[in-house]
Amino acid sequence: MSGAKMHRRGAGAAVTLGAAALLGCFVSARTASAAVFTLDDVTLPGDPIQIVDGVDDTTPTVPSTPATEGVANAIDNTVNKYLNFNDYGSGFVVTPSRGSSIVRAIRLYTANDAPERDPASVILEGATSPNGPFTVIYGSNVNLPGSRNTNPAGTPVDPNTMNFTDVAFNNTTPYTTYRVTFPTVRDGVTANSMQIGEVELLGTVVPEPATLGLISIGALGLLRRRR
């Protein structure tokens, strides 16, 4: 188990979050269908990523993440987890190097221990700049499996063999930057942090105009050869 900070939260503890107002607008999470497996993870390991620190009911912890459990682990395609002691509302902002994309599902893998630290809700937002403004794409309660992914560090994630939950949603708007935040955790009374094994933003990459032009030219040439 990582982290030395320990504290208890009262059951009625009030938490002030910029995103908290969205909780009242959440729709029920629905498990993604097999069609999600036709979507691609639009992020890549090493994509520009910024930490989003949440709030805590004690003095904020600095630094908010252990040295080996930083925010880059959230999209590194392995079981290496991202942990944040400033848990309520923590997350990350990522700008996929693959360019503009339309995300229509999110997949969350469990970490290696401490189910009480699992996110209990998620908000996904999109923007055309890392600095925003951000638009809400999806928000929902989530229920990650209690089973853990205890594979050795560095093991690539595999949806065929590992524990995760995913949800699909309607979205037709492309974005170049995404913000993922976790307003709540499974058991705020006992958890000393938020942790997640891996986050996959599933969708389709939008081709650049130049690429579309090349495709059109190639298709035209093919038609001419067929005549």
List the structure tokens of 88.
């309520």
Look up the domain containing 150 and give its range.
20-226
Report the pLDDT value the prediction gives residue 32, as an integer from 0 to 100: 55
Is the pLDDT at 210 greater than 80, yes or no? no
Question: What percentage of the chain has pLDDT greater than the value 90?
Answer: 71
Is the pLDDT at 155 greater than 90, yes or no? yes
**126 in a structural domain:** yes
Is the pLDDT at 69 greater than 90, yes or no? yes
DSSP 8-state assignment for residue 31: B
Report the pLDDT value the prediction gives residue 14, as an integer from 0 to 100: 37
**pLDDT tens-digit profile of 4-58?**
444 434 333 434 444 444 544 444 334 555 667 789 999 999 999 999 999 987 7
Range in 7-16, 159-168, 179-188, 193-202 the model is least confident about: 7-16
**11 in a structural domain:** no
**101 in a structural domain:** yes
User: What total of structural domains would you count in the chain?
Assistant: 1
60 prior amide bond cis, ω within 30:
no
pTM: 0.82
Region 78-91: what's the mean pLDDT? 97
**Mean of the per-residue pLDDT values of the chain:** 85
Region 68-73: what's the mean pLDDT? 98
Is the pLDDT at 102 greater than 50, yes or no? yes
**38 in a structural domain:** yes
Is the pLDDT at 61 greater than 90, yes or no? no
**8 in a structural domain:** no
Region 64-75: what's the mean pLDDT? 97
Pairing of strands 194-196, 82-84: antiparallel
Is the pLDDT at 149 greater than 90, yes or no? yes
Region 212-218: what's the mean pLDDT? 52
Query: Is pLDDT larger for residue 45 or for residue 59?
Result: 45
* Rounded Cα distance, 156 and 153, in Å: 9
Region 134-148: what's the mean pLDDT? 97
List the structure tokens of 197.
């094994």
**4 in a structural domain:** no
Report the pLDDT value the prediction gives residue 227, as an integer from 0 to 100: 56
**105 in a structural domain:** yes
Per-residue pLDDT band at 59 (split at 50, 70, 90): confident
Assign 96 to helix, strand or coil.
Answer: coil
CATH number at residue 101: 2.60.120.260
**131 in a structural domain:** yes
Non-local CB neighbours of 109 within 8 Å, separated by 6+ positions = 79, 149, 157, 162, 163, 164, 196, 197, 198, 199, 200
Per-residue pLDDT band at 209 (split at 50, 70, 90): confident
Non-local CB neighbours of 154 within 8 Å, separated by 6+ positions = 78, 79, 80
Report the pLDDT value the prediction gives residue 224, as an integer from 0 to 100: 55
